[in-house]
Amino acid sequence: MELPGFAVAVWMFVCLCASVGGYPNGKVREACTSMVPCHGGSPQLSPEHTITVNGTEFKPGDSIEVHLSGPDFEGFFIQARDAEHLDSPAVGSFVLADRRRSQLLTCGRTKNSAVSQTSKAKKKDIKVYWIAPGDAPKHVQFLATVVKKYRIFWVKIPGPIVSQTDVLSPTPPLHTTSQAMSTSYPVSYISKPFSASGCGSMKFCIRNPSNCDPGSASCFFLSFQQEESSVFIEMSGPSEGYLAFALSHDQWMGGDDAYLCVNEDHRVHVSTAHLKERSYPLLDLENALEDVSWRLADGVLQCSFRRSIRLPAYKGRFNLDTSYYIFLADGEASEGGLIYKHRRQPLVTDGLCNVTGPPRDIGGSRSPRLIKAHGALMFVAWITTVSIGVIVARFFKPVWSHSFLFGKELWFQVHRMLMLTTVMLTSISFVLPFVYRGGWSQQAGFHPYLGCAVMALAIFQPLMAGFRPSRHAPRRQLFNWFHWSAGTTARILAVVTMFLGMDLPALDLPDPWDTYSMIGFVAWHVGTEVLLEIHSYCLVCKVEVIEDDRVQILQSLTSAEAEGSLFKQIVLTIYVCGNIVFLVAFLIAINQV
C-alpha cells in the first residue's frame, strides 16, 4: 500500500515545531514574607511533605543539606528563618544542587535567601544547600510552601531546627573564611597569560581543547611542575566565576582532593577543599598552599600556587607522587564567593596520571567514552540506516521490483537489512548509559523517557513485521497503516530525543552548531521525501497522446515509476552522501567533546 509522503513531512514538522504552553516560572518574590502562593483558596492543614537536613548544628560559613520530599508536587518555596521569630526575614543563603528544577530568589536584602521551582513539572524531592551567615541567630528553622496542584497547597511546612554550636564566638562565614585563608600567605598578581612552553618536557600539562594556547580566551589550562619537594601549579580558563581541579582515585566525584580559584568581588581566592560525593565542597579552614598568585583579564581567570608533594599534617590532601584521575571544572559564583554547580560535565583525564612522573602534554574529555559511544551509535542508526531504509521502501518498490537478492525483491532485502541494523545499533546504544550510570539517571530530563519509547517502538516494528499478512489479505491495509504509523512515530521521537540529548551535560555538543545541524538534517530528509513524492506524482499524471486516434492513455504506476528510475537513483545517491556528511560532522563533534 502506498502512503502519502507528504503526511510524513507534515507529521514531522508538526511534532517538531508545535509550540509548548508556558508554565509558572517560580519567581514568586511577592510571597517572600507570607510564603502564601497567589492562587486563591485556603491552604491545606495536614502536610504530606517533609523537610530533612544532614545536621542539627552549624557554625557561620557551614553548609547544610536541605531535602524536601513527599508525593508529587508542582511548586515549592523554601526559606530559613529565625526559629524564635518565624515572622522575621529570611536568614542565610542557598546554593542549588539542580539548576534545572530549582532557582534562587532574593527576599528582602538577603541575596539567594529563598529557593523555588523553575517550572510546574512534577517532582518528588528537591535538594539544596543552606549556607549559614556570619550574623546567624542562635536557632534557625527551615520552612517550605508546597503546591501539589493550583488550589491544593500547604504553607510554611515546619522543618527541622538547627542551632549554632558556639553562639559566643562563631567562626567567620564562608566568604570571610576564604578571605582569611587567602591572606594567610603573601598574594601576588600574575602579569600575563600562562605559557604552554615546556609542556611535555618540563611540566605536566592538561589542555582543553587539545594543544590550545593558554593565552586564548577559549583554552582551559592546568600544569604541574615539580621543584624539589614541591609542585608549582598553574590553572586558567574562560570563567568569571570559578575554576577548580580535583585529584580522584576514580572517574566519579566523591572522596576527592580539590583546589578552587573563586572570583569574589573581582578578587580571586584560592582554597583547598574535600569533595564528598556530589555535594557542596567542604572548604578547609587550614590552607597548605604557598606562593599564591592570580589574575582576572578579558574573561579569563588565572591562578597559581605551590604545595608540597606530601602533606601528612593536612587531612584530606593527597600525595602528589601517586597516580590519579584529574578533574577540571568551571562554573558560576555569587558576589559573596559562593560557587554553583558546574553546568557542564567536568573535563576528566582518560587515565590515571602522575603529575610528578615523566612530563606529559595531554587533553581530556568532558564526555565519558560510554556516553560518546551511545551518541555515536544513535546517530548512525537514526541519521543513516533508518532514513535510507525508509526512502528505499517508500519510493523504490517499482524501481527494484524485478531485481532479487536471496530469493526476495531487492528493495525489501535492502529495507529489512537497514532496519534490522537500526534495531541492533539502537539496542546496543540503549544499554550503554545504564552501564555508565549504574541505573536510571534523574538528571537527564525527558531524554531517557523518550529513549525508552524509541527503543520499544524499534523492537515492536520487526516483531509486527513477522506477522505481516499476505499482500492481498483483507488485513494487509490495516497492517500497512500500523507499520507506517509506528515507524514514523519512532523516527520523530528519535529526532526529538537526539535534540534533547545533545545538550545534556554528559555529552554537550557545541552550541548552537548542534541544534542548527540537526535542523539541517531534518530539513534535508523531509526535502528529499517531498522531492521524490512530487516526482512520483508527476509520473503518475503523465499522459501519452496517441496522434492516430487522439486518445489519451494514463500510464500505469509501474511503467511511470520505471521511467523515472534514473532520477530516483541519482536522488538516492545524493541523499546517502548528504546523510554521510551529517553523520561524519556529528561523529567529529562527539570525538572532540
Q: Tell me: do 335 and 438 sit in the same domain.
A: no
Residue-wise pLDDT for 453-463, tens only, equals: 999 999 999 99
Residue 174 CA to its chain's centroid (Å): 29
Residues 68, 135 within the same domain:
yes
CB atoms near residue 64 (< 10 Å): 22
How open is the CA angle 30-35-36, to the nearest 5 degrees?
Answer: 85
Q: How many angstroms separate the Cα of 174 from the Cα of each of 60, 131, 134, 340?
A: 7, 8, 8, 14
Confidence tier at 175 by pLDDT (50, 70, 90): very low
Residue 177 lies in a domain: no
Statement: residue 396 has pLDDT above 80: yes
* CATH number of 226's domain: 2.60.40.1210
**Same-domain status, 419 and 482:** yes
Same-domain pairing of 357 and 374: no
- Residue 335 — pLDDT band, cuts 50, 70, 90? low
**90 in a domain, yes or no?**
yes
Is 76 within the bounds of a domain? yes
Task: Identify the pLDDT of residue 1.
Answer: 41
Is pLDDT at 170 greater than 80 in this prediction? no
CA 467, 469, 475, 481 torsion: positive or negative? positive
Question: Pick the residue with more confidence: 400 or 593?
Answer: 400
Tell me: do 292 and 396 sit in the same domain. Answer: no
Please report the pLDDT score of residue 52 as a whole number.
94
What is the predicted pLDDT for the residue at 74?
A: 92
Residue 581 in domain? yes
- Statement to judge: residues 359 and 373 lie in one domain: no
* Residue 314 confidence (pLDDT): 81
CA 321 to chain centre: 34
pLDDT one-digit tens code per residue, 536-588:
888 777 644 334 444 444 444 455 555 678 888 899 999 999 999 999 999 98
The CA distance from 319 to 231, in Å, is: 11
Q: How far apart are CA 66 and CA 35, in angstroms?
A: 18
The model's pLDDT over 17-67, given as tens digits with 9 standing for 90+, comes to: 433 333 355 566 667 888 888 776 778 888 899 999 998 899 888 889 999
pLDDT at position 542 is 64
Q: SS3 helix, strand, coil % of the chain, rounded to 5?
A: 30, 30, 40
Residues 43 and 146 in one domain: yes
* Within-domain flag for 253: yes
Across residues 470-499, what is the average pLDDT? 91
Residue 430 has what pLDDT?
Answer: 95
| pLDDT at residue 443, as a whole number | 76
Among residues of the chain, what percentage have pLDDT more than 70? 86
Is the separation of the CB atoms in 120 and 129 below 8 Å?
no
Nearest to 64 by CA among 146, 134, 131, 152: 131
The answer to the question of residue 148 being in a domain is yes
Q: Is residue 75 part of a domain?
A: yes
CATH number at residue 111: 2.60.40.4060
Do 199 and 125 belong together in one domain? no
Distance of CA 586 to the CA centre of its chain: 17
Domain containing 524: what range?
Answer: 369-592
Residue 154 shares a structural domain with residue 211: no
Q: Which of 164, 179, 209 is the last residue of a domain?
A: 164
Cell of 593: 567533546
Confidence of residue 438 (pLDDT cuts 50, 70, 90): confident
Number of domains, the chain: 3
pLDDT band at 505 (very low <50, low <70, confident <90, very high): confident
Given a cut of 50, is residue 195 above it in pLDDT?
yes
Q: Within this chain, do residues 155 and 197 fall inside the same structural domain, yes or no?
A: no
Give the span between the Cα atoms of 455 and 435, in whole angstroms: 16
Query: What CATH number is attached to the domain comprising 551?
Result: 1.20.120
pLDDT tens sequence across 348-374: 998 899 999 999 999 877 788 889 999
Whether the per-residue pLDDT at 259 is higher than 60: the answer is yes
The answer to whether residue 5 sits within a structural domain is no
Last residue of a domain, one of 365, 380, 404: 365
Domain boundary among 365, 383, 408: 365
Give dist(CA 433, CA 511) in Å, integer: 22
Are 267 and 341 within one domain? yes
> Given a cut of 70, is residue 310 above it in pLDDT?
yes
- 98 and 213 together in one domain: no
